[in-house]
Structure 1
Amino acid sequence: MKHYFAALLLAALPGLASAQHYFQQEVNYKIEVSLNDQTHELTGSEEIEYVNNSPDRLSYIYFHLWPNAYKNNKTAFAQQMARNNSRNFHFAEKQKRGYIDGLAFEVNGKPVKLEYEQPDVAKLILNEPLSPGQRILIRTPFRVKIPGAFSRLGHVEQSYQISQWYPKPAVYDRKGWHPMPYLDQGEFYSEFGKFDVKITLPANYNVGATGMLQTASEIARMDSLAEVSAAKKSFGTDMSFPPSSAKTKTLHYVQDRIHDFAWFADKRFNVLKSEVELPQSKRKVTTWLLFLNRNAPGWLARKNDLNTAISKYSELVGEYPYAAATAVDAALGENVGGMEYPMVTVTTPSAIIHEVGHNWFYGILGSNEREHPWLDEGLNCYIENRTAAEKDSDAGMLSGLLEPPLRRILGLEEVNANALNYAAWLLTNSRGADQPIEFPSEHYTKTNYAGIVYLKTPAAFTYLETYLGRDRFDKAMHAYYEKWKFTHPYPENLQAVFEEVSGEKLDWFFKDLLQTTELVDIGIKKVEKTIDGYRVTLKNEGKFAAPAPVAAINEAGEITKVQWTKPFTGEETLTFIGVADRFEVDPAYLLPETDRRDNQMKTTGLLPKSERLALQPLAGLEQNRKKQLYFLPVIGANTADKLMLGVALYNSSVQAKKVNYLLMPMYSFHQNEVNGIGNINYNFVPHGSRFLRQAILGFNFQRFEYFRKYEPSLTFNFKRATVARPRQQLKIAITSINHEKSKINPILEHAEIGSFFPLLHQPEKIGGQTLTYTIWQTNAVQKAGLELQFQHLGSNPKASDNQSNALRGTAFYERYWSKHKSAKARLFGGKFFTQGEQPFYMGLSGSPDYLKETIFLDRAQKSESIRALVDQTDLRDGAFKNFIPAFTDNWLTTLNLETELPFVPLSVYLDLGKMADVDEVFYGTGLALNIGKGFFSLYLPVAGSNFAGDTPENFKDFRRNIRFSLQLNKFNPFKLLNEGL
């Protein structure tokens, strides 16, 4: 009978009775489980009462068996960890893996079949269909092998984090079944019900768990531990595990109106107990902190944050419905971040407010986090920012990381938290790598998951809050909570409540802003003087209607008045009374806007739109009132120019602009002249395109040693349908090289390569047109790709008989065979199809680098100890590590193999090659010392073949044949700014 009334109560929830298609399943659990802290296993049994409140007959029920996510490298979790550049799980020892087994499902006492669709998702086939309104009793034993510290379920020695650990039915709602594999990036969706859980473990463990503890002896014990911890003057640093008690205890927890159950156990936990009074009802909530000695200072410094979160979220969202809340020190340390569960959270001290806040956004408002992560993380971060702002008026998820000295250095004194919270989004958006706020969590790139879900979303809701006004916004949030608590709301439900309460149509926000990557772009078109003030005309350059705030600012830089427009397209006019020095759109950086060049206008002067120039080091954000010019000291050297000192001046840092430039003059003290690099590009981001992510039209100029380089180029970066798809790029470059012949040493001085002088001919001019297509895919375990290149080269004079055409193809593959060691393979093939009277060549041991694509320390052949093409290689063309003086103007193919050695920082390599007009196969082998994963590599040759097939003379002098490569382009800080992600 009680279930019948529960169903009636559910149907009568405020506002839901009118939603005729809404229903919600009920799932009640009874679980008994025992912990073996020697084998790190759980053994238990589960009884589930499943109530079908849907209008459909169910012939099966999907089950989550999430411990199986840790079973092997084929699970969705394992694959996602690799995509997100983590090798920890992939190379984990067998005993660190986890799984669930021992399952024997029965329904109403009869065995049923379990069909696995994925290792951690299975379908329970019912013997008889479950009709609407019916209930069944599902039972099964189970055993869980607890994994190591990889994600949310795990242990470190005898410290346990037990979450997502029991067989759990998937949600069946008005949009169907939601079976989902366990993922580390992407959270969960579960049915509400009642939990009755009994946990048996050694008696000296301290436990924090979901639910209300019913065991009288343990209640008394926890109270006693809290008294001891409160009386401590210091906590020491001892982290050793005491022996486990030979006696066991059984802890009994119960709780209704929750959709998950987690528990955390450690024999070393300190315990603090407190209580907080809720602001409306004045009801008292008991709060607990469980923490380790080593982290005690941080927990004591933030011990009031748990109470603050409970009180403030109750005020801003709705009253906390449970009798207790617990925050637990993270058992799994740095391997796993904080994670929320009903009534209990595992966290670090700095994240207590955030994680406890998830009791509302996830716990009580049970949205589908996997499909709509912003409904959980985004809204929670917004309320967290408001909670933190009571302590710090400039609080925010990102701004807290920037202390005042750093903000001064970066020129961010005038920038508030909201602008900083947009920073990570601007990084990707301005380079065409944006993704919408309304987007499945598993399809985000790792950067966007943090930058959009956790940072852009709360900033966007601050925009909506300020537009609606805090009073209307808070009334809407309260109404949303009251209408949808203990249910499964979707984005459209949140929008409907906000529109009803605010009395405004909000498609511009919930559809245009949240569901697309289209930009807000509102600027000032003109300011006109009137009799008693000003008329300010705004222009919306964006593709959808949006509101904007406009501020009148006096000569002291103070805001005297702010007016909001309604959402508009085209033009809108606002009237201001009184005197103003300037007007500014969005002075508080509320709008997710990328182009702020037209956001301010002065009321007087010849250049009313001009902004003051601000010179600042390293990086910063685009701001309304100033135009940043960034600078960074640089140093360089080569054997011709010797030491060079200079400065890099550039206009883009975090955010790439439409027009980006880099000027890097470097003074050569030896040549007494200015060398350096200049780069300017136009960055086109076609928002809304299905295929193209970014196009970059650029021009590059270089002057070093004896050459000048001019290169216009056009680069296309293509979109990926999912994060698992490969990246693709197409680049077209037209290169012109001018040589200053008077600065070149005669290369014939070097007898060992003198017979190959034709390959090193340096005409006064070399022109080249290059078309390069690259496709590649990387993750933590392997990297693979293919590069195809067509190149046309010509020398001066520009006659048809001095033209050469070549086609090159390079396939590469790298595979990690341990957590830190990898093996590489590269297959190269190249051929010249035409040659002029002065032919061009491909080199077995690296390219002649006709178009100056590599940094060589001795390109001009000035030094006997560092000689280009002999001591240094660019690892292109044949890419032999040994110097074997073999070149071809026809065709060349090589296979380059390399693997790191265990226990020592060395690799062993083998290069094999074949070229036109030579019968034998070339080979080279030796050892390599790689620093910075190939940033600098030193090659130590052991053996190699020359034309005669025996060991050449130049291998007899081991010291003189040590070679190196310098891959500065791998760590070029300007590559991201000028060439895209």
Structure 2
Amino acid sequence: MKKQLFLILCLVCLNTLYSQTNTIKINAIFNPYDKELRIQQSITYYNNSGEILNEIYLHNWPNAYKDKNTPLAKRFIENYSKSFHFANEKHRGHTNIKSISVDYELSNWETSENQPDIIKISLKEPLHLNGSVKINATYTVKIPKDKFTNYGVDIYTYNLRYWYLAPAIYNNGWKTYSNLDMDDLYIDYSNYEIDLLTPFDFVVNTDLETTLSVKKNINVYKLTGKHKLDVELNISSQNDFIQFNTSPVSIITNLNSEKLNNTVQTDILNRELAFIESYLGKFPHQKLLVNKIEYDKNPVYGFNQLPSFLAPYADNFEWDIKLFKVISKKYIDQLFLFNMREDAWLADGLQTYLMLKYVEKYYPEIKAIGTVSKIWGIRNFNLAKISFNQKYPFVYQFAARKNLDQALTTQADSLSNFNRKIVNKYKAGLGLQYLENFVGDSIITNAIKNYSKKYTGKMTTSLLFFNEINTEKNIDWFKNDYIKTNKKVDYTIQKVKEKNDSLEITIFNKRNFTTPIQLYGIKDDEIKYKKWLIDIDSIKKITIPKDGFNRISLNYESLLPEYNLRNNWKNIDKKIFNRPLQLKFLKDIENPYYNQFFYTPVARYNYYDGLVLGLAISNKTLLRKSFNYKVTPSYSTKSNSFSGSFAFQYEYLPENKKIEKFSAGITGVSYHYAENLTYNTLTNYALLEFKRKNLRDVESKVLGASYTVIDREKTPTLDQHPETNKYNVFNFGFGYSKPGIINDVRFSTNMQVANKFSKVSLTGQYRVLTDANRQFDFRFFAGAFLTNKTETNFFDFALDRPTDYLFQYDYLGRSETTGILSQQIIINEGGFKSKLPVAYANQWLSTINTSVGLWRWLEVYNDIGFVKNKGKSAYFAYENGIRLNFVPDILEVYFPFYSNLGWEITDPSYSSKIRFVLVIKPKKIYNFIRRGFY
């Protein structure tokens, strides 16, 4: 706290005592043929730091694109994007600095290997407080392709942002941050004078003051701006920007609507600007550039999740909200100089708060899914009933229930993409809204106005905002736990007891987070009573008058982002169920006032059951619950029999522990494993998932144990060995994975114990994309029996296709020995693709599987291994062939060439030797798609 107060005092002193503004002058020649900017730049830098400086740092963000080892390049890999990693050098971009001088003397400057987009200039003489130096630089900027960050060159258009050298800020040390495609360059306000030369057929769009002259088919743009942050330019030979003569700020944008005429768009923009100004005051400049790139990178989530052909939102609403989101963000970014890498929550919160207020005022009737909510069959869903603004607490709850949320003060580059782009913005805005509701509407509105008046055009921090909140109420809960932690709020009404004309209500705080919370009296969905409750840190009894309501609820209007709303209310009248039963079709968002049961049609397929049609009955909503169940009675169309499955699971997600999740449950399955032969499994299991280092880390570690009881129906001919019909297996294993997009590492070890055998196994896999964009896949397997008294090969290690005696793999035809379904494989155990003479091992098995990419998904595979059976010499197995690796572990095809069998490709029945991997589990596909987001 002392350090924070010290920083605040420093900022106040700097903003009041030293008002010199840096000046940046740039002479630039734009060369579209070489995709370059040739720049001569001078920076008049004033020392407003409060200390004597011996060096100056410059941000050189164009150089973040120089190669695949920069922080930006590594960030792309973290985000599961490999386009930059394998891009052609000519598409990457860089800065080529020819000279840097200080006060007209050549200066020593350097960059570090870890931060090639930061320049350190060593000064020959110390720069004293309030002194200044003039830095001159001559350099060339190679403009990158725009497919990496959206900024850069497209065919006819150059969108330039962070394209020049800019001094870093000194604030209790130099604040130097590498470009991480987060659009958060931390630089001070400067005065700009830019001379830009372009070919005659190119137009420049900018929010600087512009003067254009033409000399010998060369456009000479003179661009000036006072007290501005970064300068954004759009240079294009096919101009698509329109300037709206709005007041008091002109809007220049290419995010215009083809469906709304110019007059309507202008009226909407005027309304937006007036609304924002009513909270934040006047915008300090005459023009505002709004590039659609800024919207594309931070869209209104909900608009882009619904198919456009449904036209879920009216044209004016959709365009209005898109523009409002971008303009409000740019307004805030220009008004206040926040360190957005370390202190972004207030800027994010103000934008979301303004969005909430704007929609509440002008579009209170709009639903979260728009007009789709009126469609028959959809309108009865709870999702269809929530308003546009109610999506914010829902998304926060989604993250909180999965333990995916992070503190608002978490450094931005440590946030998951899901939290940085969505959840933390929502939580910050909802927090301001709830604080407003607690302390009073005008208090927060006035605080925002006063804060804006004091700190417009100045360096500031979010902590200074609290100084403007004029209230006697205690808001430490908000300053500390709500902002600085990811603690969850969860209150419940334990008991309601009638006492004459009063009610004694027992309220329990289930978490270690104490916030004010409102108690409501409800009758016929109308609020009849409302009261604030404070300081409930454990259990508290309160007494209220019994007057005109039949239901008691906490947080009824969901103004507080609460972890669980299902336990927030009680009926005063005695009823069998506090929450009535509700049967709903398909999965929905939860309604906290009902015990919900969902029934969902499901379909699956296997060769013996045919198309399996069922009805899944579950309590699982779109939000995670601690206890889930799913019962799926089914009918198999081919076998004309009933089948199905069930699952009951309990999950516990501890906070701030080394354990991420503990889950335990029981599952049962009954289907056919062969023609007219059923199998039944009953599995008890427990899993421990260990916490990741952070939410950007893809590493996972899981420890699991299970006990499975299997009953396979005997064949009518009784040709199966009895040991393969009924058996029980205890399984204990550990799995580690770090599935990076360039380097993918997986490791697992397993032990199984049954009546007649016990065995251990180890599997390791390493997948890497080389610098030439060739995939190399290495897999190792070793398994050995500790004891083995079995009389069949049913439980043996398999060289090519495991028998799957635990029924854990998705075989379409698990008992097939001929035909297309027999060619399905799931890479496990030996991992071979050819069917070799010695296919099972009852003693030990060890194999190595490799594949090397030739072009895109075309690879060559080579496998070798040893198969050891009792009383026999080890059998050496080998094979090679072609692998079509369309989607790793989900869709692959193998064409064997050569093996112990010789040249398989010449076999007349070669088509039967082709093997394929096909996984149609929705969860596995979903996990593959969401990589890099959370």
Q: TM-score, normalised by structure 2?
A: 0.88
User: Which residue is 2:59 aligned to?
Assistant: 64
Amino acid in the other structure paired with 1:365: F
Structure 2 residue corresponding to 1:265, chosen from 231, 235, 250? 235
In structure 2, how many angstroms separate the alpha carbons of the residues matched to 1:585 and 1:417? 22
**Residue type matched to 1:865 in 2?**
G
1:704 aligns with 2:671: yes
- The DSSP-based 3-state class of the residue aligned with 2:379 is helix
Shift of 1:381: 2.2
Conservation of the 8 A alpha-carbon contact between 2:605 and 2:611 = yes
Matching residue of 1:693: 660
Structure-1 residue corresponding to 2:22: 27
How many angstroms apart in 2 are the aligned matches of 1:426 and 1:139? 52
Q: Deviations over 1:80-137 (max 9, x none)?
A: 1111122222222222111111341111111111121221112111111212221111
Matches of 2:134 and 2:727, distance apart in 1: 81
Q: Which runs of 5+ in 2 are unaligned?
A: 1-7, 301-317, 673-677
1:535 offset after TM fit, Å?
Answer: 5.0
Counterpart-to-counterpart distance in 1, 2:183 and 2:286: 29
The amino acid of 2:630's aligned partner reads L
Does 2:367 match 1:412?
no
SS at 1:514's partner residue? Answer: helix
Match of 2:782 in 1: 829
More deviation, 158-167/707-716: 707-716
Which residue number in structure 2 is paired with residue 876 of structure 1? 828
- CA distance 1:665–1:209, shift in 2 (3 Å): same
Deviations 1:51-82 (A, max 9, x none): 11222111111211100111111111111111
Cα separation, 1, equivalents of 2:371 and 2:414: 27
Give the distance between the partners of 1:15 and 1:95, measured in 2 at CA: 45
- The separation in 2 between residues aligned to 1:288 and 1:67, in whole angstroms, is 25
Q: 1:577 to 1:737 in 2, by over 3 A?
A: closer
Q: Is the 8 A contact 2:382 2:591 kept in 1?
A: no
Partner of 1:4: none
2:549 matches 1:589: no
Separation in 2, partners of 1:276, 1:335: 25
Mapped to 1, the partners of 2:121 and 2:41 lie a distance apart of 15
Q: Deviations over 1:708-760 (max 9, x none)?
A: 22222222222222356452222322232322332477778xxxxxxxxx8xx
Instruction: Give the aligned partner of residue 377 of structure 1.
Output: 348
Give how far 1:350 is off. 5.6
How far, CA to CA, are the matches of 1:437 and 1:399 in structure 2?
27
- Structure 1 residues 164-173 or 937-946, which shifts more? 937-946
SS at match of 1:133: coil
Whether the aligned pair in 2 keeps the contact of 1:806 and 1:834 (CA below 8 Å) is no
Query: Does the 8 A contact of 1:648 with 1:663 survive in 2?
Result: yes
Take 2:492 and 2:806, find their aligned partners in 1: how far apart are those partners? 44
**2:765 aligned with 1:811, yes or no?**
yes
Once the two structures are TM-superposed, the CA of residue 929 in structure 1 deviates from its matched residue by 4.5
Q: Does 1:957 align with 2:890?
A: no
Which amino acid in structure 2 is aligned with residue 325 of structure 1?
L
Aligned-partner Cα distance in 2 for 1:938–1:364: 57
Give the equivalent residue in structure 1 for 2:164: 166
Equivalence for 1:646: 614
Go from structure 1 to structure 2 and tell me whether the alpha carbon gap of 1:328 and 1:447 turns closer, same or farther (over 3 Å shift): closer
The answer to whether structure 1 residue 630 and structure 2 residue 590 are counterparts is: no
Matches within 5 A, 1:772-811: 772-789=733-750, 791-795=751-755, 802-811=756-765
State yes or no: 1:738 paired with 2:710.
Answer: yes
Give the whole-Å Cα distance in 2 for the aligned partners of 1:942 and 1:409. 57
Asked if 1:363 is matched to 2:331, the reply is: no
Distance, in Å, in 1 between the alignment partners of 2:69 and 2:611 is 53
Distance in 2, matches of 1:391 and 1:545, equals 34
Query: CA offset at residue 415 of structure 1?
Result: 2.9
What do residues 306-345 of structure 1 show as CA deviations (whole Å, max 9, x unaligned)? Answer: 4333221110222222222232344x9968979xxxxxxx
Q: SS at 2:443's partner residue?
A: helix
1:844-869 deviations in Å (ceiling 9; x for gaps) = 103222211112223345x74356xx
Say if 1:201 and 1:855 are closer, same or farther in 2 by CA, change over 3 A. same
Q: What are the within-5 Å matches in structure 2 for residues 321-470 of structure 1?
A: 321-330=284-293, 351-393=322-364, 404-405=374-375, 408=379, 410-470=381-441
Q: 1:777 to 1:110 in 2, by over 3 A?
A: same
CA change 1:94–1:837 in 2 (3 A) is closer
Cα-to-partner distance string for 1:263-287 (whole Å, 9 max, x where unaligned): 112232255444444xxxxxx3333
- Cα offset for 1:216? 6.8
Matched, 1:924 2:879: yes
In structure 2, relative to structure 1, the CA distance for the partners of 1:444 and 1:25 (3 Å cut) is: farther
The one-character-per-residue Cα deviations of 1:540-585 (angstroms, maximum 9, x if unpaired) are: 2221221122332223x22334333235323263635631121222
For structure 1, which segment, 883-892 or 573-582, has the greater mean C-alpha deviation from structure 2 after superposition? Answer: 573-582
Structure 1 residues 471, 816: closer, same or farther in 2, change over 3 A? farther
Distance in 1, matches of 2:11 and 2:832, equals 71
Cα distance between partner residues in 2 of 1:386 and 1:299: 26
Say whether residues 1:554 and 2:523 are aligned partners.
yes
- Counterpart of 2:126 in structure 1 is 129
In the TM superposition, 1:65-144 aligns within 5 A as 65-117=60-112, 118-144=115-141
Q: CA RMSD in A?
A: 3.4
Measured against aligned partners, the alpha-carbon deviations of 1:782-829 in whole angstroms (never above 9, x if no partner) come to 42222222x12314xxxxxx231223232231427777x744332222
Aligned counterpart in structure 2 of residue 715 of structure 1, from 687, 706, 721: 687
- TM (norm. structure 1) is 0.84
Of residues 745, 768, 776, the one that matches 2:729 is: 768
> Once the two structures are superposed, what CA deviation does each residue of 1:770-792 show, in whole Å capped at 9, x if it has no partner?
22222222333342222222x12
Task: Answer whether contact 2:508 2:536 (CA < 8 A) is retained.
Answer: no
Match of 1:344 in 2: none
Q: Deviations over 1:612-670 (max 9, x none)?
A: 4241313x323322233333321223333333210222222432111112222222245
Match for 1:30: what amino acid?
Answer: K
CA shift in 2, pair 1:291/1:194, >3 Å: same
Q: Alignment identity in percent?
A: 21
Conserved 8 A contact 1:775-1:786? yes
Letter paired with 1:792? Q
- Of 288, 291, 306 in structure 1, the residue corresponding to residue 252 of structure 2 is 288
Of the three residues 142, 148, 151, the one matched with 2:149 is: 151
User: Which amino acid is the alignment partner of residue 813 of structure 1?
Assistant: R
* Pair 399,642 (structure 1): closer, same or farther in 2 beyond 3 Å: closer
CA contact (8 A) 2:212 2:222 kept: no
Residue pair 2:207, 2:287 contacting (<8 A) in 1 also: no
Which residue identity does 2:806 align to in structure 1? Answer: L
C-alpha separation between the residues in 1 aligned to 2:455 and 2:885? 58
Aligned residues between the structures:
889
* Counterpart AA for 1:847: P
Residues 543 and 942 of structure 1: is their aligned pair in 2 closer, same or farther, counting only changes over 3 Å?
same
Q: Which residue of 1 aligns with 2:851?
A: 898
Q: 1:212 aligns with which of 206, 209, 214?
A: 209
Structure 1: any 5+ residue segments left out of the alignment? 1-12, 219-244, 278-283, 339-346, 749-757, 796-801
- Alpha-carbon shift at residue 434 of structure 1 (Å): 2.6
The answer as to whether partners of 2:714 and 2:725 remain within 8 angstroms in 1 is: no
Cα distance in 2 between the residues matched to 1:942 and 1:746: 38
Does the Cα contact within 8 Å between 1:639 and 1:860 map onto a contact in 2? no
Counterpart secondary structure, 1:190: coil
User: Which structure 2 residues correspond to residues 961-980 of structure 1 after superposition, within 5 A?
Assistant: 961-969=913-921, 971-972=923-924
Q: Where does residue 627 of structure 2 map in the other structure? A: 659
Match of 2:184 in 1: 187
Partner SS, residue 597 of structure 1: coil
SS, match of residue 855 in structure 2: coil
